[in-house]
Amino acid sequence: MDLMGRDSILQLRDMLQAAQPQDDSSDDEPSSSRPMAQMGPADVGPKKKPEKTALPTAPKPPTKDIWDEEEVATGAEYEDVLDPRPQPEYDVIFKQAVTSEDMFLQMGNKNLSSASCEDMVVKIKLPGHKSSEVELDVTDKFLDCRTPKYKLGLHLPHPVDSKNGRAQWVQDQETLVVTLRMVRDLDFVNF
């Protein structure tokens, strides 16, 4: 099996001989006249092109705001460092609507991953409380639950439809179950 033709080998030999000087110095002595001896780490790889300067953007109208909206994290208004209330135990569970076609015939594109889930269920354990003592506030990316003893500020892993959620108080377990429909960019692909 011939990987390189005779002409390719001869051209390679000529290139290597052109790179090496024809002097009689030994390989043990470093020579600054050799081109490889003058190279440094910055010479490896393609040469850098000059950077293009960015076009100036239109100036923003002057406001009296201290921060831009992008600089403030979602839910930062709920975080209170000086609040001594502990965080309750909670679980975030992903839920999907599965039909017999999905289960037995595997006709849909649903799989076991959370990408195929439609709902997010947050179970918050609040022992020693009644449903009337619970304050719940849900935005698209943040859940805030407060009671006289506990405080939970939870950044949600996916954006949700905060207007159409459902909360249920389970009295015997003293647990608040919040079911939220997830809103993701590529849901039309998964369902």
What's the Cα-to-Cα distance from 80 to each of 36, 76, 83, 103, 181, rounded to whole Å?
A: 61, 8, 6, 45, 27
Would you say residue 10 has pLDDT above 60? yes
Q: Residue 178 burial by CB count (10 A; 0-12/13-18/19+): exposed, middle or buried?
A: buried
Per the CB < 8 A criterion, the answer to whether 150 and 86 are in contact is yes
Percent of the chain with pLDDT over 90: 26
Tell me the per-residue pLDDT of 121-132, one tens digit each, with 9 for 90 and over. 999 999 999 989
- Spatial separation of the C-alpha atoms in residues 182 and 27, rounded to whole Å: 68
pLDDT level of residue 62 (50, 70, 90 thresholds): confident
Tell me the per-residue pLDDT of 117-160, one tens digit each, with 9 for 90 and over. 888 999 999 999 998 999 999 998 899 999 999 999 898 988 99
Closest CA to 161 of 183, 190, 179: 183
Tell me the per-residue pLDDT of 25-54, one tens digit each, with 9 for 90 and over. 555 555 455 666 677 777 776 777 777 666
Strand-pair category, 142-146 with 166-170: unpaired
